[in-house]
Structure 1
């Protein structure tokens, strides 16, 4: 329920297909996870390099076995270095980027920590920090945003 004067909340399911246009990823399977604080994206070959005198984060997304994989590096000059508690309760050092995400036809800027999720079912995880922007999770639903795109 929404309170008077507040925008109604959008209902999202436990799984959806998300677009990350800056990373050329479309209809990427995402787990909607209220148990996770932050959002995470599967990445590898993650390293900080110097490019034209500027520290730059370089990484690849997805795995060669993923149907959307392209063997391409992405470069971000704006990034952060964070400590994140993993789902196993272990504190990890991760780099994070801000990028745009398309959901329900709307563009959102959000932060993703980059981590190896190759053993996870979903390469993208959306956590509470993003969901608190006005989403309610109904675990009975899947692909609510994706169905609107069709």
Structure 2
């Protein structure tokens, strides 16, 4: 018996997203249907060895001028190193982590490649693998639909 699929949700070309596991909120993200893997801006990307002599990945997320960036390094004990094709067609070796991102108040776990995006307008790119998982469609004429929907729902609940 086939279950009815949940309806697809609409995203704009840009969205404000939250990373609850990193205590980051309101991060600007570009929705990119041409990219398979999502990406997040990081600096000071390197590996170290922990107390048990296992490799850990150490990064600083976002730029120091982002409201939620506090300069503290984050460490990951689960990560991959993969070849990722950049927007200009060049293949780059990048670290990839799994992270939870919130859209429409719902958590989605997705893979994010880590790269220096300081020369890009948006610190986060949301790729097709995340868009498929959440059953999202994109309206390029709109933006911040997820945040607007949550704000609207909060305002409705606050009314007497």
Q: Same fold (TM over 0.5)?
A: yes
Larger radius of gyration: 2
1:24 aligns with 2:23: yes
Number of aligned residue pairs: 147
Off by >4 Å, runs of 4+ in structure 1:
none
Report the structure, 1 or 2, having the larger helix content: 2
- Secondary structure in structure 1 of the residue aligned to 2:149: helix
Tell me the equivalent position of 2:45.
46
Moved more, 65-74 or 24-33: 65-74
Moved more, 4-13 or 132-141: 4-13
- Secondary structure in structure 1 of the residue aligned to 2:84: strand
The CA RMSD measured in Å over matched residues stands at: 1.2
- Unpaired segments of 5 or more residues in structure 2? 152-160
What is the CA distance between 1:27 and its match in structure 2?
A: 0.6
What is the CA distance between 1:68 and its match in structure 2?
A: 2.9
1:111 aligns with 2:111: yes
What is the CA distance between 1:111 and its match in structure 2?
A: 0.7
**Partners of 2:103 and 2:5 in 1: how far apart?**
20
**Partners of 1:106 and 1:60 in 2: how far apart?**
25
5 Å-filtered alignment, 1:59-78, equals 59-78=59-78
What is the CA distance between 1:39 and its match in structure 2?
A: 0.1
5 Å-filtered alignment, 1:1-150, equals 5-52=4-51, 53-133=53-133, 134-150=135-151
**Partners of 1:130 and 1:48 in 2: how far apart?**
26
Render the CA deviation track for 1:15-46: whole Å, top value 9, x for unaligned: 01000011121010000000111100000100
**Partners of 2:123 and 2:25 in 1: how far apart?**
12
**Partners of 1:27 and 1:66 in 2: how far apart?**
10
Q: Taking structure 2 as the reference length, what is the TM-score of the superposition?
A: 0.88
